[in-house]
Structure 1
Amino acid sequence: MKKSRQLEKDDHNQRAATSSSSQIPSQFAEEAIFAAASFWTVEAAFGRVDGVLRTSTGYFGGIRRKPTYREVQNVSNANTGHTEAVKIVYDKRSVSFTSLCEVFWDTHDPTSKEFLQFGLSTHLRSAIFYANEGERKEAMQSKVRRQMKLNRRIVTAILPGHSLEFFLAENFHQKYYLQKRHIRLCECLNLRSTEQFVDSHVACKLNGYLGGDPANVDENKEQLQRLIDGNDISLDAKNMLDAVFFKKTRIIC
C-alpha cells in the first residue's frame, strides 16, 4: 500500500514537472536556437522570459553526431564544429522572435573579439540561427539596432539552422542552476533524467529565477507564486519551494 501511494506521488510530481502551462496548441509553439558563450547563463536568461515554455542546452552546427562536451570543447585536437547553444520553445502569441533576439543581446557581449576565434582556439561563438527568411530579416534588423545602440561592431553570426541537428548536452548541463543548488527540490519534482529536465516548464522557470540577478528577487518571487498557483504541483514540492524561495516552511520531502 505504501509503495502504491509512492507511485501515485511520483506520477503527480511528474505531471507537475511537465506542467499544464506549457501545453499549448502546436500551431502556436515555435522553436529558436541561440549561441552566446556559456549555455548555462543563456538558458537561465531565456527561462525568465514570459512566453518561453521550455529550454534545453546542447551542441549545434557541427559535423559529428551526438558529441560530448569534451569533444566539442577540444577544438585543437578534434574540432567537431559544434558550439554551445540553447534551444527555446516559446508561445508566439506571448513573445516574438524579435523580442527573443533582444534578450539574446543582453546575455553576453556580442562585440567580443574572442568569438572570432571560434573553431580555432574556442568552441564558443555568438550566433543566431534562423529557420526561415522572416527570422533572418528580424535577426538582421535586431542586430543593426543593437549595433547602433552600442556604437561598436557586433561579431554575432546570423546563420541558417533549419538543416542542422541540435544535440542535447549531458544531464549535468540541463537547468544547471537548479541542479547545482537544489537537487532535493529536483527530486521532489521528480526531475532526474535529461528528458525530464528538458520537457519541464516548471524546471525552465525555476532555473531562470535561480540564475538571475539577486537584486530582482522580489520580482522573481511574484513570478514564482504565479508559477506555483498556475500548475499542478504536489504539496511536498510546494513546501520545498516555499522553503527555498519564501523561507516559509521547513523542508518536507
Structure 2
Amino acid sequence: MIYFVGAGSGAPDLITVRGAKLLGEADVIVYAGSLVNPALLDYAKEDCAIYDSAKMTLEEVIAVMAPAARAGKTVVRLHTGDPCVYGAHREQMDALDRLGLAYEVCPGVSSFCGAAAALKAEYTLPNVSQTVILTRMEGRTPVPEREQIESLAAHGATMVIFLSAGQLEKLSARLIEGGYAPETPAAIVYKATWPDEKVVRTTVGELAAAGAREGITKTALITVGGFLGDSYDRSKLYDPAFTTGFREASR
C-alpha cells in the first residue's frame, strides 16, 4: 500500500498519531526534502529506504513508489503540512490510478493552522470574518485569472497567502488595489511551528518593509485581515442568552 501522509506544519511532534505510525512501518519513504522537517525521519525504521523528492521529477517519484508497492512493501509519500494544500499529490494519485495501484491519504496539520497557532489568533471572528481564503501570488506558475489577488481581496475576508514571501511589495500593492486599507492588520509568519519560527506583525501597507527588515523572502505565510485586530463580537455559542441544541438560554 502507498500512503500519502501529511507531515504537519513543521514541529516533528505535530504529525498525527496515524502519520507517525505509518512512518514507523514504512519500507520506503519519499519525502519533500525542501520543506519537510528532517527530524520526522527519526520515526523511520533502520532499514527503511529514504528518498528526497526535492531532487526528483514526478516520473522518478512514481518509479520509486510503484515497484515497491507491487513488491508488497509499505510506501509513505511524506508531504509538508496537509497534502491537499499545494501538495501536488493529485497528479501522483492519478498516475497510481493508471497503474492500478492502491493508495490512501493521511491528513496533516497545514501550515496555515500552524500560523494561526503562532499568532494566537482565530481566523473566523464574529462580525469580522467568517471566511478564510487560502491562495498565492502567481510567480513562475500562473493562477486562474478569476483568482487574482485583487479579486480575492475585494471580499475583505481573512486571507492566508502561501508561496509569496518573495513578492511582498507587489502583494501589498495588489491587496490595497483590491480593497484592503493600507492600515489593515497583517502578519508574516516564518516557518510556523519550527524551532526558528518568527512572527512579524505589521500592516498591509508595510508588508514589504517588514519583510525586508527581518530578511524574510521565503518559507513564510502572509496573513491579512481584521482577525488580527482587537474588535469582534461575542460568539453566540457560549452566550447565556442564546439557546442551542444542548442548553436553554438563561432567563
Q: Give the TM-score normalised by structure 1.
A: 0.30
Q: Which has the higher contact order (CA 8 A, sep 6+)?
A: 1
Higher alpha-carbon Rg: 2
Bigger fraction of residues in strand: 2
